[in-house]
Amino acid sequence: MADRSILRVENVSKNFGGLVALSEVSFHIEKGDFFGLIGPNGAGKSVMVNVISGLYSPNKGRVEFDGRQITGLRPDRIIREGLSRTFQHSTLFFDLSVRENIMMGVRAMADMGLAEAILGSSSARSKDKAIEDRSQEVIDLLGLEQQAEEVAANLPYGLQKIVAIGIAIAPKPKLLILDEPLTGLVAAEVDQVMGHIASLNQQGMTIFIIEHNMRAVMNFCSRIVVLSFGNKIAEGAPGEIQRNREVIKSYLGE
Amino acid sequence: MNSRLAPYLTALAVMAALALVPPLIKFIAPDKWELTAHIGIKILLNVGFGLCLWMMLQAGELSLGQGGFITIGAYTTGILVAKYNLISVVWLGYLAGALAAAVIALMLGYLIVHLKRIFFLLVTWSFAEMLHPVLTSFEHPFGGAMGIIDIPAPEGLTLFSESWTGYYYLALIYGFAVLWIVWRIAGSKVGLITKSIGQNDTLVTFCGLYVRKYKVMIFVLGCFITGIGGGILASYLTAISPETFTFFTSLDIIMFNLIGGMGTMAGPIVGAVILSGLNEYLFAAGYWRMVVYGLIIIFFITLLPGGMVSLPAALRKRFTRKTKKQEVGLG
């Protein structure tokens, strides 16, 4: 059982001054899962993602990724371990083209040295080619061919969200964390984005999604954890979560 | 023609044209050559300094301390080559000056590159200001308030009958070498990373890249190149003192980017050409120079934030808007 899990969150607590954002939260995600984290606004979902990805360090508890403790590592190191994340609001390099945005995500970008960049050595050219090939693959995969040379700021919101996913999947992560990828999208865009996410999952990528769109979460997720005021109140398959009295109470009140 | 080669050929053509300026002026108006060479040298070195800052600006680093790194390059060269004769080859003195600037940039950069905008500006500015009292207070090795004198010309420059021609060609090579380096970086993946950092450094971090490393790298490289220019200036001026490179040196380098525009590499080049020329006349204006500077800064920030290179587009936009208004009026 232990070797099947890709992410282990153990007793994580996070306070901001007197505010308890997360209190002793534990859960784990197994390889290949389509995992959902839900909860009312202010439940601590984004804080959890920020703790996992190293943006915040937890006051208590630990996070293990692919058998290795990642608590306290620098965010860029955590990303290089094979974990990618997107942000709640469409976060892109708005002045760059779609292609350049996706290139930024490619793992080989980190290997490019200053001297070889200036001299344009054969090693630089082969790295350039690897980066360009991988970004082209991602563009094809997400159907962004027509917008590839477009400046990201000019894209409709739905496509911006897809480009953000493109940056995140460019390094071929083992785990993809999506923080509210559907917020602000119209129904057709929701189907398009969820279609891409589902096909990534079918190709073997573990998905961790935070979302308010219950229909999408219940249709796609295999396991769900529910947070409320920083506490884990439920965990299970979509059917169980929908019947859980605690969950209904936290969403609708008494 | 191969489009990849086009920018290189253009640069080579411009360089060749500029290389023909000395014989041409010496032929037409020999008595004007000294002044022309002086302005030309200033412009070409300033193009280098402006491009270094442009490269840093891409990564979101607004340094008001570049004059300090020119000072470090100039003083290191002067101390090693002239005051103590520790290095007999002047070219190696320039290299030592550049390395000194780079080492100090590395230490300072490691501490401050993560500071955003105004804080980075404040620290680089105060760093450059710190040099003045230090240089003035110590006779050894800095030469105190008198500074360092008799800084020799680099070997080989005596090839020319008078030194201005030699320095002109040296400055020409320096300016175009910096242009080549900055151009290569801007077009590379490192340049893409730098530009991305300037736009959204958090997202760069979550692309798995260590932002601090790249920011330090660009800062150190920019200061290294600026340090070489400082060494060349030390030779050219033959004497340097704590008053040689001031706050205005640093401010000028920002102004090149402001006046020319920061959007493209052409910006700092255009800015350096305009302001270096203008400075020769403003020098006579004394205190009033600051008034002119103030007006220039206000003009560009409020009316032309994209700098001179954005002027054609801005005029076109204004012109078309006017005609549209007229059309509405007629309708």
Query: DSSP character for A56?
Result: S
- CA–CA dist A132, A126 (Å, integer): 10
Residue A225 pairs with which residues in a beta bridge? A37, A235
CA distance B53 to B64: 9
CB distance B58 to B198 below 8 Å: yes
Residue B139: partners with Cβ closer than 8 Å, 6 or more residues away: none
- Cβ distance B185 to A80 less than 8 Å, yes or no, reads no
Helix, coil or strand: residue A82: coil
pLDDT tens string A14-42: 999 989 999 999 999 999 999 999 999 88
- Range of B218's domain? 31-330
User: Do you find a cis peptide bond into A173, omega within 30 degrees of 0?
Assistant: no
Tell me: the pLDDT tens digits for A110-128? 999 999 999 988 999 999 9
Q: Can you identify the CATH homologous superfamily of domain A2-93+156-252?
A: P-loop containing nucleotide triphosphate hydrolases (3.40.50.300)
Q: Is residue B309 part of a domain?
A: yes
- Nearest to A84, CA basis, from A107, A63, A57, A61: A107
Does B18 reside within a domain?
Answer: no
d(CA A81, CA B184): 31
What pLDDT is stored for residue B330 in this prediction?
45
Closest CB to B203 among A93, A114, A127: A93
pLDDT of residue B157: 87
Number of independent structural domains in chain B: 1
For residue range A191-200, list pLDDT tens digits in order.
999 999 999 9
Q: Judge: B199–A96 Cβ closer than 8 Å, yes or no.
A: yes
Question: Are the beta carbons of B66 and B49 closer than 8 angstroms?
Answer: yes
CA distance A124 to A40: 48
Cβ contact A120–B202 (<8 Å):
no
SS3 of chain B: the string is CCCCCHHHHHHHHHHHHHHCHHHHHHHHCHHHHHHHHHHHHHHHHHHHHHHHHHHHHHCCCCCCCHHHHHHHHHHHHHHHHHHCCCCCCHHHHHHHHHHHHHHHHHHHHHHHCCCCHHHHHHHHHHHHHHHHHHHHHCCCCCCHHHCECCCCCCCCHHHCCCHHHHHHHHHHHHHHHHHHHHHHHHCCHHHHHHHHHHHCHHHHHCCCCCHHHHHHHHHHHHHHHHHHHHHHHHHHHCCECCCCCCHHHHHHHHHHHHHHCCCCCHHHHHHHHHHHHHHHHHHHHCCHHHHHHHHHHHHHHHHCCCCHHHHHHHHHHHHHHHHHHHHHHHC
Comparing C-alpha atoms, which of B178, B179, B269 is closest to residue B228?
B178
Q: What amino acid is encoded at B148 in this protein?
A: I
Residue A185 CB coordination number (10 Å): 18
Contact B48, B230 (CB under 8 A): no
Q: Scan residues 221-240 of B and list those with Cβ closer than 8 Å to A.
A: 221
Q: Which amino acid is at A147?
A: Q
Contact A75 B205 (CB under 8 A): yes
| Token pair of B260 as six digits | 């020319």
Residue B22 lies in a domain: no
Choose among A76, A117, A127: nearest Cβ to B185.
A117
Integer Cα distance of B219 and B69 in angstroms: 11
Beta-bridged to residue A206, according to DSSP, are A175
Conformation bin of residue A106: beta by default, left when phi > 0, alpha when psi is -120 to 50: beta
Give the A:B interface size as CB pairs under 8 Å. Answer: 91
**Contact B194/B248 with Cβ under 8 angstroms?**
no
Q: At what angle do helices B163-186 and B33-58 cross, to 10 degrees?
A: 20
Strand A231-236 to A223-228 pairing: antiparallel
Beta strands in chain A, from DSSP E residues, in sequence order: 5-16, 19-30, 34-38, 60-65, 68-69, 83-85, 175-179, 206-210, 223-228, 231-236
Is B127 a member of any domain? Answer: yes
Do the interacting molecules here have an ipTM over 0.85? yes
A74 interfaces chain B, CB cutoff of 8 Å? yes
Kindly give the parts of chain B with pLDDT less than 50: 327-331
* Interhelix angle B66-78/B211-237, nearest 10 degrees: 50
Answer yes or no: is pLDDT of A205 > 90: yes
Burial of B272 (0-12, 13-18, 19+ CB in 10 A): buried
Cα-to-chain-centroid distance, residue A234: 21
Distance from CA of A76 to the nearest CA of B (A): 4
Quick: pLDDT tens for A168-188: 999 999 999 999 999 989 999
- Determine the pLDDT at residue B279: 85
Mean pLDDT of A54-62: 95
Angle at B229 between CA B227 and CA B232, to 5 degrees: 115
Neighbouring residues of A45: CB distance < 8 A, sequence distance ≥ 6: A37, A38, A39, A179, A210, A227
Identify which of B185, B193, B203 has the shortest CB distance to residue A91. Answer: B203
CB atoms within 10 A of CB A122: 9
Q: Is B15 inside any structural domain?
A: no
Alpha-carbon gap, residue A172 to A184, rounded angstroms = 27
Q: Do A167 and B203 touch (CB under 8 A)?
A: yes
- With a CB cutoff of 8 Å and minimum separation 6, the contacts of A154 are none
Closest partner CB to A109 (pick from B189, B199, B206): B189
Could you tell me if B3 lies within 8 Å of chain A, comparing CB atoms?
no
State the pLDDT at residue A4.
Answer: 84
Using CA atoms, how far apart are residues B153 and B231, in angstroms rounded to an integer?
Answer: 10
Q: Quote the CA–CA distance of A71 and A61 in Å, as a whole number.
A: 8
Which is nearest to A105 in space by CA: A70, A76, A140? A76
pLDDT of residue B321: 64
Residue B17 lies inside a defined structural domain of this protein: no
Residue B11 lies in a domain: no
**Residues of A with Cβ-Cβ distance to B188 under 8 angstroms:** 112, 117-118, 120, 124
